[in-house]
């Protein structure tokens, strides 16, 4: 029996249908080409899926957190590269949700209603895990800020129309001097650098961004000067379960394709040996456990209770499961797994353990919560109770 509501089930089915019709048939081709294809945005126009995280008051679909996970799982099932395009756009929106004014939200979210996409630019050469070590600066000049620097490995960077970019307004204060800005594509001095060659998620767009004297209105500052690190951390808390959802979809797909292959490869043995049966059962146990951790995290997020630890756990657990299950699927398929398109699931899984904070960094977050758990308020007993 499903604990999902009829509405959630209907949205999940619509996402599954979309993926079957538009993503699965093209995923191999775009992976081999190693580039983002605008076909995805055209195909998604009718469903407005890129607006699924946009609140209703800004015209979006406003899906609840569990429903967003259901959709992202389906996209991860179809192609983790194309799923990354959707997840990265939502990641950039999360910064605006966290710190944007009403006017900024309206401005940022409106393009998503037309299936345009956003990008989130935090990482720099030498400033990945240590996000506060960046060198990009934003200097106030009258009613503007002037931004100089560069960002690397930015998903959607070459194809987005709106960006959230992090830059130092007070370099002497390090991470405490970091601020977040909205930058619209096309501003003079804002150019797209090298397109990265990647091991996996090859149909997503990953580029370097170059900012030379890019002038933006001061009204594009999100929150206050110096709020950048707080905004980035809250954004990543909100967004990491999306990577968990892509990972669950990816792992389920690797397992399903492996089962299909084994049934074809050994047609005379509908009941393969017990060792193999147990292996497949263990893989499904892993995927199902990952899915439940994800849904629990999303339920906490939806309820508005603290969920930083669970966000880190779901990202770590689900991406480790995707890596493990996809690797085992390749092993079970032998050379066919290694040489066919099915090896894509294993290649795509690796990034899930790296971006939005590596799994080592997640383990730091989790261990801090374990070592110094937030106090739980226990009501005092009254006399006689
Ligand atoms: C395909 C792709 C898409 C990406 N998309 C985006 C995007 O849209 N926006 C964006 O801003 N960034 C993006 N990134 C960047 C990504 O988030 C960073 O690469 C990631 O956070 C790791 O940073 P790094 O590569 O500099 O690794 P480093 O920080 O150099 O880490 C190297 C290794 O050291 C470990 N390590 C580092 N510090 C510690 C520590 N304190 N304790 C224990 N271990 C540690 C790490 O876990 C890792 O194993 C993307 C990257 C890729 C490859």
Ligand 1: residue of 196, 231, 354 to mutate (most ligand atoms within 8 A of CB) is 354
Distances 184 to 12, 117, 129, 160, 177 between C-alpha atoms, Å: 32, 11, 26, 9, 22
Distances 137 to 124, 147, 184, 212 between C-alpha atoms, Å: 12, 6, 17, 10
Is residue 103 flagged as an active site residue? no
Residue 337 structure tokens: 């797994």
In eight-state DSSP terms, residue 127 is B
Asked whether 128 lines ligand 1 (CB < 6 A), one says yes
What pLDDT, on a 0 to 100 scale, did the predictor assign at position 374?
72
Ligand 1: residue of 93, 151, 153, 362 to mutate (most ligand atoms within 8 A of CB) is 153
Which CATH number, 1.10.10.410, 3.30.540.10, 1.10.260.40, 1.10.540.10, labels domain 6-117?
1.10.540.10
Q: Looking at ligand 1, which atom is closest to the CA of residue 151? A: 11
CA 355 – ligand 1 centroid, Å: 6
* Intervals of the chain under pLDDT 50: 1, 385
The tokens 């299950």 sit on which residue? 325
According to the 3-state scheme, what is the secondary structure of 37-69? CCHHHHHHCCCCHHHCCCCHHHCCCCCCHHHHH
Residue 79's nearest CA partner among 278, 293, 329, 349 is 349
Euclidean distance between CA atoms 126 and 135, whole angstroms:
9
Asked whether 123 lines ligand 1 (CB < 6 A), one says yes
Q: How many C-alpha atoms does 44 have within 13 Å on its Cβ side? A: 26
Q: Looking at ligand 1, which atom is closest to the CA of residue 122? A: 11
Asked whether 221 lines ligand 1 (CB < 6 A), one says no
Q: Looking at ligand 1, which atom is closest to the CA of residue 355? A: 17
Sign of CA dihedral 57, 63, 69, 71: negative
Euclidean distance between CA atoms 205 and 333, whole angstroms:
30
Catalytic pick among 124, 257, 356, 385: 356
**Domain ranges across the chain:** 6-117, 119-226, 229-371
Euclidean distance between CA atoms 297 and 309, whole angstroms:
9
Q: Looking at ligand 1, which atom is closest to the CA of residue 156? A: 8
What pLDDT, on a 0 to 100 scale, did the predictor assign at position 26?
96
Euclidean distance between CA atoms 55 and 63, whole angstroms:
8
Asked whether 181 lines ligand 1 (CB < 6 A), one says no
Nearest Cα residue to atom 6 of ligand 1 = 154
- The CATH H-level superfamily of 119-226 is Butyryl-CoA Dehydrogenase, subunit A, domain 2 (2.40.110.10)
Q: Is 14 exposed, middle or buried (0-12, 13-18, 19+ CB in 10 A)?
A: middle
Q: Is 116 exposed, middle or buried (0-12, 13-18, 19+ CB in 10 A)?
A: middle
Residue 380 structure tokens: 């005092």
What pLDDT, on a 0 to 100 scale, did the predictor assign at position 380?
59
Residue 206's nearest CA partner among 225, 217, 219, 192 is 192
Give this prediction's pTM.
Answer: 0.95
Asked whether 355 lines ligand 1 (CB < 6 A), one says yes
Residue 345's nearest CA partner among 278, 249, 206 is 249
What pLDDT, on a 0 to 100 scale, did the predictor assign at position 125?
93
Which CATH number, 3.40.50.300, 1.20.140.10, 1.10.3720.10, 3.40.47.10, labels domain 229-371?
1.20.140.10
Nearest Cα residue to atom 40 of ligand 1 = 361
What pLDDT, on a 0 to 100 scale, did the predictor assign at position 1?
45
């Amino acid at each position: 029996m499903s604990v999902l509501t009829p509405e959630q089930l209907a949205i999940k089915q619509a996402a599954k249908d979309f993926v079957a019709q538009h993503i699965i048939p093209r995923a191999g081709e775009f992976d081999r080409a190693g580039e983002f294809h605008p076909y995805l945005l055209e195909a998604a126009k009718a469903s407005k899926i890129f607006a699924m995280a946009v609140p209703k008051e800004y015209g979006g679909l406003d899906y609840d957190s569990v429903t967003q996970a259901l959709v992202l799982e389906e996209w991860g099932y179809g192609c983790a590269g194309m799923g990354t395009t959707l997840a990265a756009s939502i990641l950039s929106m999360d910064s605006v949700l966290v710190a944007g004014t009403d006017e900024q939200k309206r401005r940022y979210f409106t393009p998503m209603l037309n299936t345009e996409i956003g990008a989130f630019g935090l990482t720099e050469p030498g400033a990945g895990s240590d996000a506060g070590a960046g060198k990009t600066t934003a200097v106030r000049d009258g009613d503007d800020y002037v931004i100089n620097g560069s960002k690397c490995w930015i998903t959607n960077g070459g194809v987005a129309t709106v960006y959230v970019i992090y830059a130092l307004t007070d370099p002497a204060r390090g991470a405490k001097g970091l601020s977040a800005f909205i930058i619209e594509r096309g501003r003079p001095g804002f150019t797209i650098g090298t397109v990265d060659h990647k091991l996996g998620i090859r149909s997503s767009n990953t580029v370097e961004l170059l900012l030379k004297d890019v002038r933006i209105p001061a009204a594009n500052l999100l929150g206050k000067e110096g709020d950048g690190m707080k905004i980035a951390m809250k954004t990543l808390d909100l967004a990491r379960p999306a990577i968990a959802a892509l990972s669950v979809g990816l792992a389920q797909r690797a397992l399903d394709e492996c089962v299909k292959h084994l049934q074809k490869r050994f047609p005379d043995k509908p009941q393969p040996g017990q060792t193999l049966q147990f292996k497949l059962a263990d893989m499904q146990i892993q995927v199902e456990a990952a899915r439940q951790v994800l849904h629990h995290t999303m339920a906490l997020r939806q309820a508005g209770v603290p969920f930083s630890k669970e966000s880190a756990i779901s990202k770590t657990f689900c991406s480790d499961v995707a890596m493990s299950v996809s690797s085992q699927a390749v092993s079970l398929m032998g050379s066919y797994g290694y040489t066919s398109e099915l090896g894509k699931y294993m290649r795509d899984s690796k990034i899930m353990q790296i971006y939005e904070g590596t799994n080592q960094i997640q383990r730091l977050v989790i261990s801090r919560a374990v070592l110094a758990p937030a106090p739980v308020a226990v009501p005092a007993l009254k006399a006689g109770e």
